[in-house]
A and B are shown apart, each in its own frame.
Chain A
Amino acid sequence: MLTLREKYYDFDQISSKVFKCRRDDQFFTMKIVSILNEENQANNGVPYWIIREISILKELDHINIVRLIDVMTDGPDLFLVFEYLDNEFQADFLKNPKMFMYPQMKKEFLYQILNTVAYLHARKILLRDLRPENILVNVRTQVLKIALFGAARTFEAPLEAYSSSVGCLSYRSPEVLFQFGCEKYSTPNDVWAVGCIFGEMLLHRPLFSGPSDVELLDEIFTLLGTPTEETWPGVTSICGTCALMGPPQQPKDLAKEFPMLNPDGLDLLSKMLCLCPNYRISAEDAVKHPYFKGV
């Protein structure tokens, strides 16, 4: 087996643990992860989450996912070799002003996100934490890449922006918010997050931004109406907080809230932002929605 330095060369440091490197004519981004941890690593070998995450990343091969190409070991350090994304790729894609100049491009990127989510769901993988910060786009080629497993930092996403958004709730679905910390994620939660990103693309500001669970739920219900037993069977039994939120609210007319969106787009948005997770559209069906005709 070749050693790290035999296989890769021309190391160029990007941040303390991230390097750009080269093999033959190709560039890669290398991330160093130490498996040592004072607390438990001396007793417990390679941490379980590192084994799980790497082995799952190794199975994924999708144009819209930042690809893990190689894993090298050297002592207690792991070197994760990722596909290299050049400077044209910018993280936190909604902050890119060019995004909003071409409506067609938004649709194209939304499609790529949904397509990736459908790919992951078919493999029983949940994103759980899909946020615009983890999405990189190349506006010129119109290629979008989702950085899984915290790899966003690998691509020079600004440190502050990343850290401050770790506690960000904006993209969490009502069913997850209802559980207050007891996180029970499932596939509809990811679709909700894409719905929020869709809304954010259109409004040029986060669709929901409540600083706390309760405020966020209130914002969601203000737009989409308070759920009832008819719209979300069983909601009264899980919704201990509904009572805290004052009188029930009627859903707003999405066509007025999103005047820029055509009827197909409105239909898709409302299906992705369906309060009841069981009735929410799946990523697989969303990709086939008429809104994407011609993409």
Chain B
Amino acid sequence: MAHNSDSATSNLLLLCSENSSTCFDDDGLECDAADGSNSRISHHEGGGGSELLLACFVAQSEEAVRAMVEREKEHLPRDDYLMRLRSGGLDLDLLGVRKEALDWIWKAHSYLGFGPLSFCLAVNYLDRFLSVFELPRGVSWTVQLLAVACLSIAAKMEEIKVPQSVDLQVGELKFLFEARTIQKMELLVLSTLRWKMCAITPCSFIDYFLVHLVWLNGEFGVVLEFLGNILNESLLRMNKMGI
């Protein structure tokens, strides 16, 4: 895929827009105005930076992919996480906690019609958070709050239209959290993950492999789209099963 092609380039992650600059300005008035308009315009027209998913489907150079593999290490749960999940042992029922959170994220994600990358991101945040943060034992609402916060951040990173955070709480929920509480949890997740939210997920590599597969076949376009759909689907299933 040519870098110059219009569709490829227009999908690039858009940053540093005028609005974004002004939102960091000192002036309070200007800040409020920019915040409000930015949020509305970008969420409906996708002008802000919502093209992250699509950016994922632009052809990458070998060098870029190598850098991604390197960068992926910074977006993984702590090394002992898998062992702790398997062994259970002294820990709180980590596997159970993960399953409960994942279960809700999966259902809510699908109900809200979000794309595959926001699902991958939410699970990435959940796992990274659980691997370094000790949730208080026996307080079941924390798990649910964590799941809501992870999905909320993932949606904000990725989706064009994001419902208000209270409205993310769909499905059968034991608790209903206030926006303020969700915000606090979001901040806790963000700072615990050191704001490294542009996680490298399996999605990030799909197009690289697709392009190579397609070149082998000598076909383009249709094949690419078809394979993309299949891979996305299977990726979602895999993640759902916790693979």
Number of interface residues of B (CB under 8 A): 59
Chain B residue with the shortest CB-CB distance to A234:
B6
B146 to chain A, nearest CB (A): 14
Tally inter-chain residue pairs, CB-CB below 8 A. Answer: 177
Chain B residue with the shortest CB-CB distance to A279:
B4
* Contact of A107 with B by CB under 8 A: no
B26 to chain A, nearest CB (A): 5
Given the known interface contacts A52-B156, A73-B187, A278-B4, the answer about A128 and B17 at a Cβ–Cβ threshold of 8 Å is yes
User: Among the listed stretches B84-92, B105-113, B157-165, which one makes contact with chain A, having 4 or more residues with CB under 8 Å of it?
Assistant: B157-165
Contact with A along B182-196 (1 / 0, CB 8 A): 110011001100111
**How far apart sit A41 and B183, CA to CA, in the bound complex (Å)?**
9
Chain B residue with the shortest CB-CB distance to A55:
B197
Considering only residues 162-189 of chain A, those with a C-beta below 8 Å from chain B are 166, 183-188
Asked if A150 and B10 sit within 8 Å, CB to CB, the answer is no
* Contact of A102 with B by CB under 8 A: no
Given the known interface contacts A45-B152, A52-B156, A59-B196, the answer about A185 and B14 at a Cβ–Cβ threshold of 8 Å is yes
B10 to chain A, nearest CB (A): 5
Considering only residues 1-34 of chain B, those with a C-beta below 8 Å from chain A are 3-6, 9-10, 12-26, 31-32
User: Among the listed stretches A13-21, A108-116, A213-221, which one makes contact with chain B, having 4 or more residues with CB under 8 Å of it?
Assistant: A13-21
* Contact of A205 with B by CB under 8 A: no
Q: Which residues of A contact B20 (CB under 8 A)?
A: 49, 53, 149-150
Asked if A43 and B36 sit within 8 Å, CB to CB, the answer is no
Interface residues on A, range: 35 or more
Asked if A56 and B186 sit within 8 Å, CB to CB, the answer is no
Asked if B18 and A49 sit within 8 Å, CB to CB, the answer is no
Q: Which residues of A contact B166 (CB under 8 A)?
A: 43
Asked if B35 and A37 sit within 8 Å, CB to CB, the answer is yes
**How far apart sit A125 and B16, CA to CA, in the bound complex (Å)?**
9
* Contact of B73 with A by CB under 8 A: no
Considering only residues 11-70 of chain A, those with a C-beta below 8 Å from chain B are 15-18, 31, 33-35, 37-56, 58-59
Asked if B24 and A31 sit within 8 Å, CB to CB, the answer is yes
**How far apart sit A85 and B15, CA to CA, in the bound complex (Å)?**
23
Say which residue of A1, A52, A71 sits within 8 Å of B48 (CB atoms): A52
* Contact of B176 with A by CB under 8 A: no
Say which residue of A18, A35, A73, A129 sits within 8 Å of B18 (CB atoms): A129
Asked if B15 and A126 sit within 8 Å, CB to CB, the answer is yes
**How far apart sit A227 and B152, CA to CA, in the bound complex (Å)?**
46
* Contact of A266 with B by CB under 8 A: no
Given the known interface contacts A54-B195, A58-B196, A129-B16, the answer about A184 and B25 at a Cβ–Cβ threshold of 8 Å is no
Asked if A18 and B157 sit within 8 Å, CB to CB, the answer is no
* Contact of A124 with B by CB under 8 A: yes
Q: Which residues of B contact A59 (CB under 8 A)?
A: 71, 196, 198
Q: Which residues of B contact A126 (CB under 8 A)?
A: 12-16
Q: Which residues of A contact B35 (CB under 8 A)?
A: 37, 39-40, 47
Q: List 23 A-B residue pairs with CB atoms under 8 Å apart, sorted by A's residue number.
A: A37-B32, A39-B35, A39-B39, A42-B180, A45-B165, A45-B186, A46-B156, A46-B190, A48-B162, A50-B23, A51-B156, A51-B190, A52-B15, A53-B49, A55-B198, A124-B55, A127-B15, A128-B15, A149-B24, A150-B20, A166-B22, A186-B12, A187-B12
